[in-house]
Structure 1
Amino acid sequence: MSVTMVKESTIISKRTSRKEWSAMESTKFEKIHTEIFDGADYASKIIAQEIAALIRYKTERNEKCVLGLATGSSPIQVYAELVRMHKKEGLSFQNVVSFNLDEYYGLDKTDNQSYIHFMHHHLFDHVDILSENINVPSGKIAFEHIAEYCTQYEEKIESYGGLDFQLLGIGRTGHIGFNEPGSKISSTTRMITLDYLTRQDNAFAFNSMADVPRKAVTMGVGTILKAKRIVIMAYGMKKAEIVRKTVEGEISSDVPATFLQEHEDVTFVLDENSAKDLTRFETPWIVGDCEWSKDLKRKAVVWLSQKLNKPILKLADRDYNDHGMSEILGEGGAYEVNIKMFNHFQHTITGWPGGKPNADDTNRPERATPGKKRIIIFSPHPDDDVISMGGTFLRLVDQGHEVHVAYQTSGNIAVADHEAFRFAEFARELYEHAAGD
C-alpha cells in the first residue's frame, strides 16, 4: 500500500476546501477532506497547534474562544500537547470557554469513569482555564428535568455565539458524540440509549460490561454541525471500516458521522491504519496512477476477476483498460498476464496443505520440511472449521500433523453479540416504557 503522509504541513495553513478536495483525482471518492499522518503522536501535535493558534487569535482580539471538546482515547495526546504548550510556551486558556460533547447518565463528577473526571485529569487541572468557563453535561440531572436541562445547555452554547472549533472522535457504530445510529441531522442535546457495541468498546474503563451505563447525555448532530470548524480523529485498524463509510459512503442516519459531509469546514485526521480501506489505498488503480508491485498486481487481478465474475484466464484487454489497470499489461497483453497470474495462484493449491515431505517445494507456499508440523486452526464459530475448510482439516490430520482448533466464539448465537444485544435492549426499553405508562 502506497500512502502519502503529511510530514511538515499543518492543517491550519494548508487546509483544502471540500470542493477542491473532491475535485482531486486521487480523492474523488472522498466526500470529507482527510489528512493522513504517519502516527497519532504527530497528528495530535498538529491538531493542538491549530487549537492553540485559534486561542491566541481570539486572545489578541479580546474575544472568547469557544471550544467543543471530546473524550476517549483519540484526544488524549492532543490535550497532552496543549498542556505542554501551556507550561512551556505560555499558552493561556483564560479566554477559553469549553463545552464537552457528552457524559454518561448516572455518573457523578467524582466517578473516575465520568467524562468530567477525564477532562480534569487530562486537561483542565493542568491549565489556567477558569472553572466557570468549563461546561460538561451533567449525568445526575433528575430524569424529569433532562429535557429542560438539555435546552439550557443548547442556549448556553448559543449565548457565546456557537462553537468556534469542535474536536471529535468516532465510534465503530459511526457515532459522533454519543449520537448513535438513528440520530437525525437536526438533533440537539438530549438523552440517548447507548448501542451495545459502544458500551462494549468502552467497557475497558469499567469493572465489567454490566457496569457501563446504558444511557448518556449528548450534544446532537445539529449542535455539532453548527460549529464553525470541525476536526475529527480516528486511529488504528479497528476504525478503518467506519472511516470508509463516513468518508465515502452515502449520508445516512445509520452512520451519523456521514452528516459531516454537509459541513463546509471539516477535516478527518487519520493514520495509515485507519485510512487503509479508503479507495485510494484499497484499490488505487481506480483513482489514478500507482506503483505496480507484484503483490498489488495480484491483488488487482483477483479484484477484477471477482468484480466482473469472470475466471482469471478469461479476462480481456478491455477489462483491464476499463478499470484503470492497463499499465500492468505487457507486450503479450491480457493473455500473458492471465497465464502468469493463474500459474501463481495454481501453485498455492496443493493436496498437501502442510507440505509434502521430501518434495520440491520451490514454488509452493508451504515448506516440505519438517514433514510433521504443529498446526492451529482459528475458527470464528464452532463448525466453521468443518464447513469452511473440512477437506483441508481432514488432510492435515490424515497426513500426520498435530492439529489444534481455537474456537473464537461460544456458538450460542448465530449473529454478532452486539447485534443481538442491541435489539434485546431496545425491546426491554420499550417494555419498561410501556409499563411506566
Structure 2
Amino acid sequence: MTVNFTKVEEAFFEETKSKKISTRIPYITTESFPKLGLLSALSFLEWASKNPKGVACLPTGKTAQYFLDFTHLLLDNWNNKKGKDFLEKYGLADVKKPDLSELSFVQMGEFFPINPEQHNSLYNYAQKQYIEGLGFKKENALLINSEDIKLAEGKHYSEIFPDYKIDLSLRYREAKTHQEQLQQESIFNIDNWCTAYENKIRQKGGIGFFLSGIGPDGLIAFNTRGSDHFSSTRLTETNFETQAITAADLGGIEVSKNRLVITIGLGTLTFNPDNKAIVYAAGEAIADTIKASLEKEPSVTYPATALQKLKNARFYLTDGAAVTLEDSIEYFYTGTPWNHQKTERAVIELCKKINKFGSKLDLEDLKADKYCSMIPGLNENTVQSVIDSILEKLQKGMQKEVNQVYYHTGPHHDDIMLGIMPSTNRQSRDASNELHFSVATSGFTAVTNTFLYNVLVDTKDLINQGKIEMINFPDFFKDGHKYKWDKDIYHYLDNIAAQDEEEKRRGVCHRVVRALVLIWGIKNEEELRETIFEVLSSLRNTYDGGKNPPKIQKLKGMIREFEEELVWAHYGIMVKNVHHLRLGFYSGESNYDKDILPILEDFRKYKPTVISLAMDPQGSGPDTHYKVLMAIAKAVEDWSKEEDLSKLRIVGYRNVWFKYNPWDVEVIVPVSLNSLATLGKSFSECYITQVNASFPSYQLDGKFSDLTQRVWFDQHKQIQLLLGKNFFYQNESPLLRATHGVIYHRELTVEQFLEEAQKLGKATENIL
C-alpha cells in the first residue's frame, strides 16, 4: 500500500519495526500507550497548524489523558530549546505554534440524560479539557448538554424520565398513558435536536480532524456494532460491551445499562471526504477487533470499517494492539533471527489452522504452511521438539515446592485469584511453605454507593436488634475494635459452611463496624449511630459515579480488604499474612515513601524466595497495573543492594484483561476441574461486592471468575490440540487426567525482570 503520510507520521513510521502495510486503512505502531498519546498530539497540532479554522472532534474520556498531556506539553514548550529539538525530531521544525482559539470543537457523544455539571458528564469533560484547558472558544463549539434540549411542556428530563429510563419503542407504538405521551413527544424533540446538531456540523463543512479510541466491539464514538455506516447524530441504546466499559464512569452497570446516549453517526464522520479520522488503540485485548477493522471489507459488524472510505483515515496502535494483523505476524517470523519461540508458535498455530493434533502433523503439513516452512532445519522431529518444550513447561507447572516464602502481589483485589489461584492453592498445602498475599491498592472504586448503602442499613438494623454484641464490651471503642479482626473472617467462613446467609451478612456488618470506629475515631454507640446516619445521608446525596469523601473511600476500601482476607482464609492463610499496602499513587499521593517503601519493608521483613506480580509488557492495560509493576521493580532493585537475590524468582502472570500465549512463557500450570469449582465458589462467596458484577469485563456478562474459567479452558484446548486428548485423559498423572484448564506464566530472574521493567519504563515515561 502506498500511503501519503504527513511529516509527523513519517517520523513515527521510521521508528516502527515492520515497514509493511497491507491493510485497508494505513496504521502506525508504537511501543507503548503513552507514545500513542504523543503521536496523536503531534498529529493534531500538525493538522491545526494547517487548518486554523478547522473542525475538530476530540476524545472525551480516560483514554484521552496522554493525548491531552502531550498537547499541553508541546504547546508550553513550542518555542524553547526543549520543544524545538523535539519538534525537529518529528518533522515540525518550521511550523509556527498553532493557535487553537479559532478551531471549532464538536463533542462526539454524551450519556442522556445526565447533569452536565457532574464530573462524569462528557460535556463537563469537554468544557474543562478543551474549552478551558486548550482555549477553544465556546461560541465555536458544538456541545451536547442535556439541560439545553427542550422536552414536552418545557419540563425537565427528571420529570419526563424520572428513573432516567427511556423507552425508544415509543417512536413506533401508541403512548398508553399521559406520562408516556410526554415521553413520546420528548423523544421526538430529542430526535429533532439531534438532526439540528447534525446540520450544524455539516454547515461547518463536516469534521476535519477526528480522534477517538475504539471499543471492544469496534465502537467509534457511540456507534456500536450494527450501526449503519450512513448514520447521523441520534439518540440510541448501547450494547453490553459499551455498558461494561462505561460502568466505571456511571457508577456501575446497573446505571450504564439503563442510560441512553446521543452520538454523532458514522455518516457524520465520513461526510467530509478530507476528514483526518484517527483511531488509536492499545493492548492485546483489542487486537482481534483491530484486525477485523483493518483487514475486513466494510461491515456493520465492525463500525470502524466505515472509515475505509476516507483517504486520510489512520489507525495508531501499540505493538500489542497490532499483534494479530497479518503484517505483524509476518514480521514476528521474518523481522528478527529465528528462535525456538517462533517454532513453537508456528507449530501450535498450524494445529489450530488445520484442526489437527500435533502428534498427527506430518512433514508435508509443515512444508505447506507459510510459517512452518520457514523453520530452520525442518524435519520429522520438529513437531516433537515443540511437544517436548511444552511438556517441560508443564512439568515446571506441576513441580511440588517446599521451604519457599511466596510473596504474591496484585494491583487490585481479585487479581491474584484470577491470575494464579490454582498455583497458590498447591503451594499452601505444604506446611514448609510460607505464603503472603499483598494487594497494592485499596480498591474503593470497585464498591458501589448502592452496595455500601445497603450494608450500612443492615448494620444499623442489627445494632437496633442488639445483634452487634461487641459494641457492648467496655473497651471496644477504646482499643477493642483493633483486635480480633480475624474473628469476623471465621464467623463468615463458618456460616458459609452452615449455609446461613443471615449470619454471613452479620459477619460483614461486624467488619464494617470495626472499620467505622477506626476511620472516624468513634467513642461510643451514640457516635456510631450518628456516623452511620451521616454516611447514609452522604451516599443519598451523591450521584451515581460521583466521588466520595476520603473517609467513605477508605471504608469502601476496607470492605474490599475484608473480601481478600476471606478468599485466602479459605485455604488456611492467616489474616496477618494478607497485606493491604494502600500505595499512595491510588489516592493521588505518589512518592517513594508511600509507593515503594511499603513493598521494600515487606521484602526485608519476610524475605521472599518467590515474588509474583501482574505483568503488562507495554503499559497498555489499567494504569494501576503499570504503576504497581514499576513500584515492585524499584523495591526489588533497592532490596538487591542489601541482599543476594541471585536465587529469587519473579513470577509474572496475566489474567482476564490480558493473556499470554504458550510460546511467551516458561511455565504452564495444569488446572483441575476441582480447582475451577473452587475458583467459582470462593469468588462468589467472598467477593461479595463483585458477585453481581457492577463493573464487569466487556468480554462476559457475568462474574470475573466465570470469565477466568473460560480463559483457562480455552488455553487448555490450545495445549490439548498440540498434545492430543489422549495425553490428558490417559496420562499416568492424576492431576493431568483431571486437567480441564491451564495457566500460562513467566518465571524470571531478578536481572531479567529488572531489564524488562526498565525497558517498559523507558518506553512509557522517557518520551520527552
Indicate whether the TM-score tops 0.5.
yes
Aligned residues: 374
Could you say which residue in structure 1 is the equivalent of 2:129?
A: 122
C-alpha displacement of 1:106: 0.7
Q: How does 1:376-415 map to 2 (within 5 A)?
A: 389-390=671-672, 405=679, 410=684
Q: What is the distance in 1 between the residues matched to 2:77 and 2:655? A: 52
In structure 1, give the amino acid aligned to 2:268.
Answer: T
Q: Is the 8 A contact 2:110 2:123 kept in 1?
A: yes
Q: What is the distance in 2 between the residues matched to 1:264 and 1:46? A: 19
2:105 aligned counterpart, secondary structure: strand
2:99 aligned counterpart, secondary structure: coil
Distance 1:12 1:207, change over 3 A: same
Could you say which residue in structure 1 is the equivalent of 2:213?
A: 169
Q: What is the distance in 1 between the residues matched to 2:74 and 2:379? A: 58
Q: What is the distance in 1 between the residues matched to 2:397 and 2:141? A: 66
Could you say which residue in structure 2 is the equivalent of 1:327?
A: 374
Distance 1:193 1:418, change over 3 A: farther
Q: What is the distance in 1 between the residues matched to 2:354 and 2:240? A: 37
C-alpha displacement of 1:374: 8.5
Q: Is the 8 A contact 1:104 1:217 kept in 2?
A: yes
Q: Is the 8 A contact 1:35 1:270 kept in 2?
A: yes
Could you say which residue in structure 2 is the equivalent of 1:84?
A: 73
Could you say which residue in structure 2 is the equivalent of 1:39?
A: 32
Q: What is the distance in 2 between the residues matched to 1:347 and 1:293? A: 17
Q: How does 1:411-426 map to 2 (within 5 A)?
A: none
The superposition leaves residues 385-420 of structure 1 with CA deviations (integer Å, 9 ceiling, x where unpaired) of xxx9547869xxxxxxxx97465865999xx98776
Could you say which residue in structure 2 is the equivalent of 1:209?
A: 253
Q: Is the 8 A contact 2:12 2:39 kept in 1?
A: no
In structure 2, give the amino acid aligned to 1:233.
Answer: Y
C-alpha displacement of 1:119: 1.4
Distance 1:182 1:139, change over 3 A: farther
Q: Is the 8 A contact 1:356 1:371 kept in 2?
A: no
User: Which one of 199, 205, 214 corresponds to residue 155 of structure 1?
Assistant: 199
C-alpha displacement of 1:55: 1.9
C-alpha displacement of 1:290: 5.1
Could you say which residue in structure 1 is the equivalent of 2:583?
A: none
Could you say which residue in structure 2 is the equivalent of 1:400?
A: none
Q: How does 1:276-287 map to 2 (within 5 A)?
A: 276-282=323-329, 284=331
C-alpha displacement of 1:102: 0.7
Q: Is the 8 A contact 2:244 2:698 kept in 1?
A: no
Are 2:193 and 1:195 aligned?
A: no
Distance 1:12 1:326, change over 3 A: closer
Are 2:339 and 1:293 aligned?
A: yes
Query: Could you tell me the TM-score, scaled by structure 2's length?
Result: 0.43
1:123 aligned counterpart, secondary structure: helix
User: Which one of 62, 68, 71 corresponds to residue 73 of structure 1?
Assistant: 62
1:100 aligned counterpart, secondary structure: coil
Q: How does 1:132-281 map to 2 (within 5 A)?
A: 132-140=139-147, 141=149, 142=151, 143-212=187-256, 214-227=259-272, 228-281=275-328
Segments of 5+ residues of structure 1 without an aligned counterpart are 1-7, 17-23, 358-365, 381-387, 395-402, 422-437
Q: What is the distance in 2 between the residues matched to 1:11 and 1:57? A: 15
Q: What is the distance in 1 between the residues matched to 2:13 and 2:57? A: 20
Distance 1:104 1:354, change over 3 A: same
Q: Is the 8 A contact 1:72 1:169 kept in 2?
A: no
Which structure: larger Rg?
Answer: 2
RMSD: 4.0
Could you say which residue in structure 2 is the equivalent of 1:95?
A: 102
Segments of 5+ residues of structure 2 without an aligned counterpart are 1-5, 79-96, 152-186, 403-422, 436-567, 572-653, 657-669, 686-690, 703-768
Could you say which residue in structure 1 is the equivalent of 2:712?
A: none
C-alpha displacement of 1:371: 9.9
2:106 aligned counterpart, secondary structure: strand
Q: What is the distance in 2 between the residues matched to 1:234 and 1:139? A: 29
Query: Could you tell me the TM-score, scaled by structure 1's length?
Result: 0.73
Q: What is the aligned-residue identity percentage?
A: 19
Q: What is the distance in 2 between the residues matched to 1:249 and 1:266? A: 15
C-alpha displacement of 1:128: 2.8
C-alpha displacement of 1:220: 0.5
In structure 1, give the amino acid aligned to 2:8.
Answer: T
Distance 1:417 1:245, change over 3 A: closer
Q: What is the distance in 1 between the residues matched to 2:111 and 2:361? A: 55
The superposition leaves residues 104-148 of structure 1 with CA deviations (integer Å, 9 ceiling, x where unpaired) of 111132121111111122232123322201112233423331121
C-alpha displacement of 1:175: 0.9
Q: Is the 8 A contact 1:231 1:269 kept in 2?
A: yes
1:335 aligned counterpart, secondary structure: coil
1:74 aligned counterpart, secondary structure: helix
Could you say which residue in structure 2 is the equivalent of 1:5?
A: none
Q: What is the distance in 2 between the residues matched to 1:91 and 1:289? A: 39
In structure 2, give the amino acid aligned to 1:46.
Answer: L
Distance 1:334 1:232, change over 3 A: same
In structure 2, give the amino acid aligned to 1:217.
Answer: I
Q: Is the 8 A contact 1:12 1:50 kept in 2?
A: no
Q: Is the 8 A contact 1:55 1:95 kept in 2?
A: no
The superposition leaves residues 43-72 of structure 1 with CA deviations (integer Å, 9 ceiling, x where unpaired) of 22222222222222234xxxx211122212
Q: What is the distance in 1 between the residues matched to 2:245 and 2:68? A: 21
2:210 aligned counterpart, secondary structure: strand
In structure 1, give the amino acid aligned to 2:352.
Answer: Q
Distance 1:128 1:309, change over 3 A: closer
In structure 2, give the amino acid aligned to 1:10.
Answer: V
Q: What is the distance in 2 between the residues matched to 1:257 and 1:185? A: 9
Q: What is the distance in 2 between the residues matched to 1:111 and 1:370? A: 47
In structure 2, give the amino acid aligned to 1:224.
Answer: L
C-alpha displacement of 1:267: 0.9
1:334 aligned counterpart, secondary structure: coil
In structure 2, give the amino acid aligned to 1:321.
Answer: K
C-alpha displacement of 1:189: 0.5
Instruction: Compare 269-278 and 95-104 and name the one that shifted more.
Output: 269-278
Q: Is the 8 A contact 1:196 1:418 kept in 2?
A: no
The superposition leaves residues 252-275 of structure 1 with CA deviations (integer Å, 9 ceiling, x where unpaired) of 212212222332221111112222
In structure 2, give the amino acid aligned to 1:259.
Answer: A
In structure 2, give the amino acid aligned to 1:206.
Answer: L
C-alpha displacement of 1:162: 1.5
Distance 1:250 1:156, change over 3 A: same
Q: What is the distance in 2 between the residues matched to 1:13 and 1:356? A: 51
C-alpha displacement of 1:200: 1.8
Q: Is the 8 A contact 1:79 1:123 kept in 2?
A: no
Q: What is the distance in 1 between the residues matched to 2:304 and 2:208? A: 19
The superposition leaves residues 61-104 of structure 1 with CA deviations (integer Å, 9 ceiling, x where unpaired) of xxx21112221222222223333344443532122011111111
Q: Is the 8 A contact 1:313 1:335 kept in 2?
A: no
Q: Is the 8 A contact 1:285 1:323 kept in 2?
A: no
The superposition leaves residues 251-302 of structure 1 with CA deviations (integer Å, 9 ceiling, x where unpaired) of 321221222233222111111222223234456578x565322122112112
Distance 1:410 1:391, change over 3 A: closer
